[in-house]
Every structure is written in C-alpha cells, then in structure tokens.
Amino acid sequence: MSLSLNVLLYALYRTFISKRLSRSLQELEKLQARINTVVPKRRDRVYMKLSKDIKRYNNAVYFYSLLQSMVLLALYMIGLFLVFSMNFVLYFPFYVPLLTVRIEGRNVLVEGPLLLYILSFLVFTPLSLRRPKANIS
C-alpha cells in the first residue's frame, strides 16, 4: 500500500511540481551566473537589484518542496487509516521476543500490518521526496 501511495505521489510530482520546480531552479542559476559575471566592485549593487527576483524564486522552490511534503503526509495519513481498518495476520519466519507471538505453531507478528506500513514509510519516503539540486554556490 505504501509503495502505491509513493508511486501516486511521484506521478503527482512529475506531472505538476517537477517542471515548475526545475524552472525556478534554472532561473536562480541564471541570476547567480549574472551576479558572478559582474566585477566584485559592482556585485553588491547588482545583487541588490536582483534580490527581489532571487527571493521570489527561492520562495517558489520552498513552496513546491513544502507542497510535495504536505501531499506526502496527507497520503500517508489516508494510508494509515486504511491500514487501521484492515484486519489480516502477518507471519514471521522465526520467533523474536516482543515482536512475535507463537499461535498454533506459527510466529505471528504483533501489530503486523502497522509495523509493515511504518517500515515501508521509512523505506519509500526518501524515494518519493527526491528533488532536483540547484548548482548555486
């Protein structure tokens, strides 16, 4: 379930957020290159002229990153409610104290669906929150 939620988030990211985020990062790189081409004496003055644009594009990058994170949290909350409504048993191949209970000769994972969901959250979250990197120094 967690994998499908992450694939859904990745699809949303690729269709809506990725292009806008990349465009903002490219504009920031262009502004940084423009500042770097100016001689050091005039660099502060050019930076002051471009500071509003730099702030605007930085805010756009922060907004799209926040939007992606909030959508991820919303999808995981929906998934968590779905996991709580499911009732199935997960078996573990061997006995682990505090994690498994032996029932009818089989090792049943205590709160298995919830533990599996939390583990998949930890595994797949870094994959779904990947963002392009800016080459700004």
Phi-psi region of 130 (alpha: psi -120 to 50; beta: other; left: phi over 0): beta
* Distance in angstroms (rounded) separating the CA atoms of residues 133 and 136: 9
Which tokens go with 56? 């605007």
pTM of the model: 0.71
Predicted confidence (pLDDT) per residue in 44-95, tens digit: 898 899 999 999 999 998 998 888 888 888 888 888 888 888 777 888 888 8
Bridge partners, 101 (sequence order): 108
What is the pLDDT averaged over residues 113-128?
Answer: 78
Instruction: Report yes or no: 99 and 109 within 8 Å, Cβ to Cβ.
Output: yes
Inform me whether the pLDDT recorded for 41 exceeds 80: yes
